[in-house]
Chains A and B, each alone.
Chain A
Amino acid sequence: MDNRSLVSIDDYTKEEILEVLNRAAEFEKNPNSNILEGKVISSLFFEPSTRTRLSFETAISRMGGKIVGFTDASSSSTSKGETLNDTIKMVSNYSDLIVMRHPIEGSARWASEVSDVPVINAGDGANQHPTQTMLDLYSILKTQGTLENLNIFMVGDLKYGRTVHSLLMALSHFNPTFHFIAPVELEIPRAYKIFMDKNKITYHEHTEFNSIINDADILYMTRVQRERFADPLEYEKVKNVYILKNDMLKDTKDNLRILHPLPRVNEIAIDVDANPKAYYFEQALNGVYARQAIIAKALDL
């Protein structure tokens, strides 16, 4: 096992989060380097995720590293019945670092225990996606100048959204005030409320999406999906409630920025895109710098 792996956002202390975010800022200033020269990085995508894969591959290429791997399970040895254990043992002999996306929950932790080289989790099913969290944090830091004492509003599917849960855990180091806006069916799970109570973090829950966002520093939007509702009528009732429209932003704070993990469907109206408070496309670009910093840390570079 290699403890330089990043499997869950909890693997980083507050100091490590800040260290990686500072490093990301350096990579943003100078994205191109040769610090990965001579290094081979395995990019193992057991399920396709073009967005995350391109972001990682861009990060690696800009640092001068070589990439080997596969882009979906059908072109890997898994399709011939090889276990994850065996694939990781073989690949960790070839490479200096493994970036892995896998549909099975807990697969990344297991891989990090089997591997002799660090493993970076690029998403393990519904469980963790820590590099997304780091790019979210980097976007917040960049736009607000700090991570401390912010009013964070999270909107949409707060029950199943893993990006919401990981961001909540990571921000808990920085004395946030949370506002959760969601239909009752998709409210934030009890386990996270217990966590926030224990850590004395202030939070408020709302079902209405209206002018309460005027206090927000960050508005983190997620998608409300039809398949999450047992009763289709309940979905019909709420499907248009959690949509952000440009006119809702007129009395919001100047420093407000709107984030979204992308891809968007209809939860942010197109007219918001032209608003200077819309930040979701820049947010995606920040992912390259955040991943460069995460890779550099994993390899002690």
Chain B
Amino acid sequence: MTAKKELQVRAIKNGTVIDHIPADLLFKVINILELDKCSTSVTIGNNYKSDILGKKGIIKISEKFFEAEEINKISLIAPNVKFNIIKDYQVVEKSVVEAPNNVEGIVKCMNPKCITNVEEVYTKFKVMSSSPITLKCHYCEKITDHKNITIK
């Protein structure tokens, strides 16, 4: 690890550092985790150089720890994002996102003739495959694949 990376990760005392976010997906991640409603301090950085991603984003949230369910929502758009749990300036746990079994309310069904795109219906999907992510709509029963996933 370079000194610079360590500094980015360790900049908060307690909380979560979300790393390896593809730069173009940073704001989607912010929306999915509802960070606009977060009351503790949030630091957002984007377009850092990354060997793997080219450009990446990092989010640091003080005094906030996410449930596995919330973390797994991120798998729908960015399967390689890392969540670092920070306690007393130390990384105590690293978790990689995993695909959930069911997805509710986050993703839009790609079928324009689906009731969820016509009326106000909370979307529900069954995860048919986790890599690449493949979702089956609970209502119209059509497949929404990873290329067509859009976040509501």
On whether the two chains bind one another, the answer is yes
Interface residues of A (CB under 8 A from B): 8, 83-85, 103-107, 109-110, 124-128, 191
Q: With A83-B119, A110-B119 as given contacts, are A8 and B113 in contact (CB-CB < 8 Å)? A: no
Contact check, A105 vs B119: say whether CB atoms are below 8 A apart: no
B118 contact set on A, CB distance < 8 A: 104
B139 contact set on A, CB distance < 8 A: 105-107, 109-110
B114 contact set on A, CB distance < 8 A: 104-106
Interface positions of B from 38 to 58, Cβ below 8 Å from A: none
The 4 lowest CB-CB distance pairs between A and B, nearest first, are A106-B139, A105-B140, A106-B140, A106-B115
A24-B55 Cα distance, complex, nearest whole Å = 64
Cβ-based interface call for B142 (8 A): yes
A127 contact set on B, CB distance < 8 A: 140-142
Cβ-based interface call for B107 (8 A): no
Interface positions of B from 91 to 123, Cβ below 8 Å from A: 109, 111, 113-116, 118-121
Inter-chain pairs besides A8-B141, A105-B114, 8 sampled, C-beta below 8 Å: A83-B119, A83-B120, A85-B119, A107-B139, A110-B119, A124-B140, A127-B141, A191-B143
- Write the nearest CB–CB distance from A234 to chain B, whole angstroms: 25
A264-B11 Cα distance, complex, nearest whole Å = 72
A8 contact set on B, CB distance < 8 A: 141
- The total of chain B residues at the interface (CB under 8 A) is 17
Cβ-based interface call for B126 (8 A): no
A256-B147 Cα distance, complex, nearest whole Å = 45
Cβ-based interface call for B137 (8 A): yes
Cβ-based interface call for B146 (8 A): no
Cβ-based interface call for B87 (8 A): no
A106-B111 Cα distance, complex, nearest whole Å = 10
A109 contact set on B, CB distance < 8 A: 115, 138-139
Contact check, A84 vs B119: say whether CB atoms are below 8 A apart: yes
Contact check, B137 vs A106: say whether CB atoms are below 8 A apart: yes
- Write the nearest CB–CB distance from A168 to chain B, whole angstroms: 14
A103 contact set on B, CB distance < 8 A: 113
Contact check, B115 vs A104: say whether CB atoms are below 8 A apart: yes
List 29 A-B residue pairs with CB atoms under 8 Å apart, sorted by A's residue number: A8-B141, A83-B119, A83-B120, A84-B115, A85-B119, A85-B120, A103-B113, A104-B115, A104-B118, A105-B111, A105-B114, A105-B139, A105-B140, A105-B142, A106-B109, A106-B115, A106-B116, A106-B138, A106-B140, A107-B115, A109-B115, A109-B139, A110-B139, A125-B113, A126-B113, A127-B141, A127-B142, A128-B141, A191-B143
A125-B109 Cα distance, complex, nearest whole Å = 16
A74-B91 Cα distance, complex, nearest whole Å = 63
Most B C-beta atoms less than 10 A away, residue of A83, A104, A105, A106: A106
